[in-house]
Amino acid sequence: MRNSKLRRQIAWEAARLMYDRQESEYYRAKMKAARQLCRGWVKPADLPSNAEIRDQIQSFARMLEGESRSQNLQAMRLAALRMMRLLAPWRPRLIGSVLTGHTREGSDIDLHVFADNVESVAHLLEQEGLAYTVEKKLVRKQGEERVFTHVHVRSGFDFELTIYATDKAHYVFKSSITGKAIERASINQLEQFLHCEYPGLDIDAALAAAEHQVDPYQLYESLLLPLENVKQDPRYHPEGDALYHSLQVFDHARDEHAYDEEFLAAALLHDVGKAIDPYDHVGAGLEALDGFITERTAWLIEHHMLCHKLVDGTLGARAKRRLRDSEHYHDLVLLGECDRAGRQPGAEAPELDEAIDYLRELESMFG
């Protein structure tokens, strides 16, 4: 096999592994690709550069994501500016794929933030009502160990804030892809970049409009979290609280229809009203979700309690006929089966963050 052809094939396979998020690091992706293709030792000269793999990842993104990729990139850049203005006291810098345009499905927004302690940044995020987690990561490089602090923030898009000491604000960071100084932009530089990149865009108006948009997945999370404190009658729900039940139901639904976002949303959200009005949890839940779920999801939630009557034979003939006339009848029956299956004490269930992220990824994949 000619070296140039082998190099391209390794780049293609490594890019596929990274695009599908089977691998997150260039070195591991290219070595795994090389082993799959060559089944033996590979000359270093046959291995593609990180830049070659990155370019191939972008080819995948353009091919698979189409026009939505450009729209999403603009939205991510605006979100980056909004977050940077919030973090202005710590001289934030936008780096990475959102700045360079090398985004793909699932990309996050990377910011460098210069603060002598992470607590001050975390305090501001808490004041703004933003959910975040702090990660300490030990990195060994050239025989030296360093601990990096990352703050992961969910605010419409996923952000990764890397916290550096204030005296590093003018340090020249090198790219692991090109080996050159990384591209980065301050608030002013990003504003100028946006004016050049999107000449007709009114940045402040776009940011103001985004401020009034509610992230449906944050709403879902805010409605689901209180269910942890909703204790249920052990005769019907021996598994425990309503959140644990909802996550079990979601897991069973995912086993049945892994890519049906509307069905999965109904499975996860069917009991959110129990923390609002235990006497009419269906009505309360639908009112809270109004405008944030589809008609099909709403119909499934509205009628999910009738599934129990279907099973025990107490549903009247007329009501049964109305249900069967619906195009969603079989989905409703399946939802009822998942609802009944999700009542196992001690059963494994996903974390709430995992369930929310799964729905979010489906939405980004299929729109």
Residues 160 and 203 occupy one common structural domain: yes
Confidence of residue 67 (pLDDT cuts 50, 70, 90): low
207-216, pLDDT tens digit by residue? 888 776 778 8
Region 101-109: what's the mean pLDDT?
81
Q: What's the confidence (pLDDT) of residue 66? A: 63
Q: How many domains does the chain have?
A: 3
Residue 121 has pLDDT above 70, yes or no: yes
Residues 245 and 336 occupy one common structural domain: yes
Q: What's the confidence (pLDDT) of residue 52? A: 85
Residue 156 has pLDDT above 80, yes or no: no
Residues 25 and 86 occupy one common structural domain: no
Q: What's the confidence (pLDDT) of residue 1? A: 45
Residues 220 and 361 occupy one common structural domain: yes
Beta bridge partners of 138: 147
Domain boundary (183, 211, 239) is at 211
Residues 46 and 141 occupy one common structural domain: no
Q: What is the CATH number of the domain that holds 183?
A: 3.30.460
Residues 131 and 60 occupy one common structural domain: no
Domain boundary (147, 179, 211) is at 211
**In this structure, are residues 337 and 308 in contact, taking their beta carbons and an 8 Å threshold?**
no
Residues 51 and 83 occupy one common structural domain: no
DSSP 205-246: HHHHHHHT---HHHHHHHHHGGGGG----TTT-TT-SHHHHH
Residues 44 and 158 occupy one common structural domain: no
Burial 204-241 (b: 16+ CB within 10 A, else e): eebeeeeeeeeebbbbbbebbeebeebebeeeebebbe
Residue 2 has pLDDT above 60, yes or no: no
Least confident of 36-50, 140-154, 287-301: 36-50
What's the whole-number average pLDDT of the chain? 87
Q: How far apart are CA 249 and CA 266, in angstroms?
A: 10
Q: What's the confidence (pLDDT) of residue 239? A: 94
Q: How far apart are CA 166 and CA 132, in angstroms?
A: 21
285-327, pLDDT tens digit by residue? 999 999 899 999 999 999 999 988 888 888 889 988 999 999 9
Residues 204 and 221 occupy one common structural domain: no
Q: Which of 108, 109, 115 is nearest to 163 (CA)?
A: 115
Give SS3 for 350: coil
Residues 120 and 40 occupy one common structural domain: no
166-195, pLDDT tens digit by residue? 988 888 888 766 678 888 999 999 999 999
Q: What is the CATH number of the domain that holds 258?
A: 1.10.3210.10
Domain boundary (50, 65, 80) is at 65
Residue range(s) defining the domain that contains residue 38: 3-65
Residues 176 and 127 occupy one common structural domain: yes
